[in-house]
Structure 1
Amino acid sequence: MDKGIFFLLAILGGVSLAMQGGLNAQLGVQLKSSILASLVAFVFSAFFALLLVLALTRTSMDFNLYRKVPAYLWFSGAFFSVIGICLYYYTIPKLGISTMISLGLFGQLLFATIAGHFGWFGLPNEPLATNRALGIFAMALGIFLMNKN
């Protein structure tokens, strides 16, 4: 498959995350609780994910495979997802969606660059090179300019 398709899918994923952040932040405002909005979002996310699994899974479930998964992998990603999502829903109404998303993306990029450099989480190493460092600097400068009053 052409790499351009993956670029477009990644952009679509980013648009979807920004949309859900804005919509669920408003849900949190209406409910007067960003944590309750997060719970609602995760319950419905689980439901929609279940529908996708049922619709797209072509093979039977291999429970022996599931037993081999380290225990921490069953919950650690969800734990950080709840923290991140709750913080998004809490800060979007206070900062605005473009400010929150730009700062959130910068945090993701910074952490991903460090994690990629060291090959954390068993993922491929992506050494920090000059072009990556310049890209992070450019993004930081762009965020500063976007948020300068």
Structure 2
Amino acid sequence: MSKLIWIFLALLSGAFLPIQAGLNTRMGKAAENAVAASLLSFVVGALGLIFYILLTRQSISWAGIKTAPAIAWTGGLLGAFYVTVIVLAFPRLGPGLTFGLVVAGQMVISLLLEHFNILVAAPQPINFMKILGVLLVIAGVIIIRKF
């Protein structure tokens, strides 16, 4: 696929996050349990992925999975933490502030991952313009919060 398609898909997935948060929040209210709503979100997502893998006949390297570093398994825990916090924060902070903070956190950590070449990120040194970009994102979050 061309880079343009990946840019579009990344934007689309970002656009889906507040929608997912709203839907998961509704499920949390219906279940009267935000953690249960997060679990249901993962179960439905897992079933969807299983269906997709079977439908597209994708192969899985079980031998490769066995050799994955232990830390690779924590991705699911981070996902569970993220979804649960979003379900809890979304109705309290609102979509704009919640996802402004999410994006600010993502930008800060992404710069550090790239700078220090962590987790297979391509090395990209931090420079003034990148720091300025993150500061502008944080300024945007502050503006959203104040107004």
2:100 and 2:140 in contact (8 A); partners too: no
Deviation per residue, 1:2-55 (Å, 9 max, x gap): 322221111001012221111101211222211010010011110001011112
Q: Is the 8 A contact 1:110 1:136 kept in 2?
A: yes
What is the rounded CA distance, in whole Å, between the counterparts of 2:3 and 2:120 in structure 1?
Answer: 23
TM-aligned CA deviation for residue 58 of structure 1: 4.3
CA deviation map 1:70-122 (0-9, x unaligned): 2332x200011111111000110111111111111111111111121111113
1:126 paired to 2:124: yes
Equivalent residue letter for 2:142: F
Amino acid at match of 1:123: A
List aligned pairs for 1:61-72, cutoff 5 A: 61-72=60-71
Question: What is the aligned-residue identity percentage?
Answer: 24
Relative to structure 1, is the Cα distance of residues 68 and 101 closer, same or farther in structure 2, using a 3 angstrom cutoff?
same
1:10 corresponding residue in structure 2: 10
Instruction: Identify unmatched segments of 5+ residues in structure 2.
Output: none
TM-score by length of 1: 0.90
Match for 1:3: what amino acid? Answer: K
Unpaired runs of 5+ in structure 1? none
What corresponds to 1:148 in structure 2?
Answer: 146
Q: Contact between 1:34 and 1:90, CA under 8 Å: does it hold in 2?
A: yes
Alignment TM-score, normalising by the size of structure 2 = 0.91
- Aligned residues, how many? 147
> Secondary structure, in 3 states, of the residue corresponding to 1:39?
helix
SS, match of residue 71 in structure 2: helix
Q: Distance in 1 between matches of 2:84 and 2:58?
A: 34
The amino acid that maps onto 1:67 is: K
Residue 50 of structure 1: aligned partner: 50
C-alpha distance in structure 1 between counterparts of 2:28 and 2:100, whole Å: 20
Residues 21, 88 of structure 1: 8 Å contact kept: yes
Which secondary structure does the structure 2 equivalent of 1:114 belong to? helix
Q: Which runs of 4+ in 1 moved over 6 A?
A: none
SS of residue matched to 2:119: helix
